[in-house]
């Protein structure tokens, strides 16, 4: 049992954890941008465009993430878009998470009282200025805990990229216990602890932000 937790194996797992974190960070950046744009477009009810974005978001939200991962890695090359394993995983996660985040953004924007928009317009600001300077800052504070919760889900979802052999935590653990079946339980224990530590720290941050939100 102790041999399973040798420094070589633990370092291999930590290398995988680092890939998991890298994929998560890059994915959340892209999904925040795409989700923010999609959520704002839906909130503003732009004729035709908001409807189209809403349909796309609903389709993506109702697809399994595994299918999107297969699509980005195996289907896109068929139309001339070839991504390596890392970027295929990032693209799949960003597409899927942006659809989830767009709903968080839209709900956050809708949570701001309409009077704030009216006050901004009456003060001489344009609708876009009111949105950027007044509505979005207030909404972002309200939606930040939900965004962090979605980030926690994203970190756990990176394990699905094992299907395309992304060298993340689950993939590396699988390699270790594939060499010695006696290491199955130790590797699952190690994976559990690593995922738990990362996700629990983020959940603490989310809980703190949720609490502080009501202190203002």
Q: What residue ranges do the domains of the chain occupy?
A: 2-213
Q: What is the pLDDT of residue 212?
A: 65
Average pLDDT across each block of 10 residues of the chain; the chain has 216 residues. List them in order.
Answer: 77 92 92 92 88 93 93 91 92 94 90 85 84 86 83 89 88 87 88 90 78 58
Cβ contact 32:140 at 8 Å: no
Distance CA(191)–CA(23), nearest Å, equals 17
Closest residue by Cα to residue 211 from 144, 137, 135: 144
Distance CA(158)–CA(161), nearest Å, equals 6
The values of phi and psi at residue 69, to 5°, are -65, -45
Cβ contact 30:98 at 8 Å: yes
- For residue 106, give every residue at least 6 positions away whose Cβ sits within 8 Å of its Cβ, in sequence order, or none: 39, 40, 42, 43
Q: If one looks up domain 2-213 in CATH, what number appears? A: 1.10.3720.10
Q: What is the pLDDT of residue 64?
A: 93
Q: What is the pLDDT of residue 193?
A: 93
Q: What is the pLDDT of residue 213?
A: 58
Distance CA(166)–CA(209), nearest Å, equals 32
Q: What is the pLDDT of residue 214?
A: 53
Burial category of 54 from C-beta neighbours within 10 Å (exposed 0-12, middle 13-18, buried 19 and up): middle
Distance CA(14)–CA(173), nearest Å, equals 10
């Amino acid at each position: 049992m102790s041999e399973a937790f040798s420094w070589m194996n633990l370092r291999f797992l930590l290398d995988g954890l680092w890939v998991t974190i890298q994929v998560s960070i890059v994915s959340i950046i892209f999904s925040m941008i795409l989700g923010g744009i999609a959520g704002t477009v839906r909130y503003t009810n732009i004729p035709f465009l908001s409807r189209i974005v809403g349909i796309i978001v609903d389709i993506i939200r109702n697809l399994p993430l595994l299918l999107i991962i297969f699509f980005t890695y195996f289907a896109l090359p068929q139309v001339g878009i070839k991504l390596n394993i890392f970027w295929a995983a990032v693209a799949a996660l960003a597409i899927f998470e942006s659809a989830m985040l767009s709903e968080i953004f839209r709900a956050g924007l809708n949570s701001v009282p309409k009077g704030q928009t009216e006050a901004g317009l009456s003060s001489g600001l344009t609708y876009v200025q009111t949105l950027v300077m007044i509505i979005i800052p207030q909404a972002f504070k309200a939606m930040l805990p939900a965004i962090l919760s979605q980030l926690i889900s994203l970190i756990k979802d990176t394990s699905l990229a094992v299907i395309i052999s992304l060298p993340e935590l689950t993939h590396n653990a699988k390699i270790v216990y594939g060499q010695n079946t006696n290491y199955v339980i130790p590797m699952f224990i190690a994976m559990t602890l690593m995922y738990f530590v990362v996700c629990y720290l983020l959940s603490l941050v989310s809980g703190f932000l949720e609490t502080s939100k009501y202190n203002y």
